[in-house]
Each structure stands twice: as structure tokens, then as C-alpha cells.
Amino acid sequence: LNDNPSLYKITLSGTMKSPKINFDPPFLMLMPVPLDVKTETAISIIPQDYLRQSRIQVELPELELDEGDRIYPLSVQFPEGQDIVLSSDGTNEELICHISFKSSRPMSFLGNMFFIDEEEN
């Protein structure tokens, strides 16, 4: 270089990938059941492009009944944990989530469940 930095230029370029999660299946329809009987299904959460461990949280829909009572008829469980981990080959391991519904009152509804990582994505 001989104290002449203008002779050399270095150009760097790159692509930044944002972490995301996909679901299998992408939509969920639970079967009708009698009152106070639980219906349940499992979904796979497929994380992509997470470079460090993160934890998934779930926001469940809240329903307001005719009398004004508010209930959460859906519940979730992660039998193998809620942490997104990076495997030795650089990919993210999928998570299993069990979603269940149970109600003592007749109802049907359409709602969204939000799966959020630690950075609120």
C-alpha cells in the first residue's frame, strides 16, 4: 500500500435474509365436537433463516359471548419445547404445536392465531 490508500478499493455486497416461519398445514379446521369435548390437532412450525435461538410465543383469539363474557376456547402446547434452534448443518429444526379447542357453550368462529418470535416478528 505504501501509504497510498487510493490505489485499492474493496467492494462488499451481500443479501440479508429475514427470519420467517411457515406452517404445515397452513390453515386449520377443527372438527365439530359435543360440548365439553376436546378436539385437537398437531401442526408443524417450520422456521427458516434464524441465525440464533429464539422462542415462539402464541397470541390466541379471545371471543366475546352474547352475555359479554370473554373466553379463550383454543389452547396450544409445544410437547418438544418452543425454542427455535440452529442444527449442526445450519438449518432450523421444525417445532410441533398441538392446538386444541373445548367449549361448554355451542359456538363456531373464525379467528387468527399469531406466532411471534422474541424480536416480535
> With 80 as the cut, is the pLDDT of residue 5 above it?
no
Architecture of domain 20-116: Sandwich (2.60)
Domain boundaries, the chain: 20-116
At 95 the pLDDT is 95
DSSP letters of the chain? -TT-GGG--------PPPPEEEEESSS--PPP--TT--EEEEEEEEEES--S-EE-EEEPPPEE-TTS-EE--EEEE-TT-SEE-B-TTSPBPPEEEEEEE--SS--------EEE-TT--
At 72 the pLDDT is 87
Tell me the pLDDT tens digit for each residue of 24-70. Answer: 998 888 888 999 999 999 999 999 988 888 999 999 998 888 888 88
> With 70 as the cut, is the pLDDT of residue 7 above it?
no
* Main-chain dihedrals φ then ψ at residue 7, nearest 5 degrees: -80, -20
> With 70 as the cut, is the pLDDT of residue 15 above it?
yes
Mean per-residue pLDDT, 3-30: 82
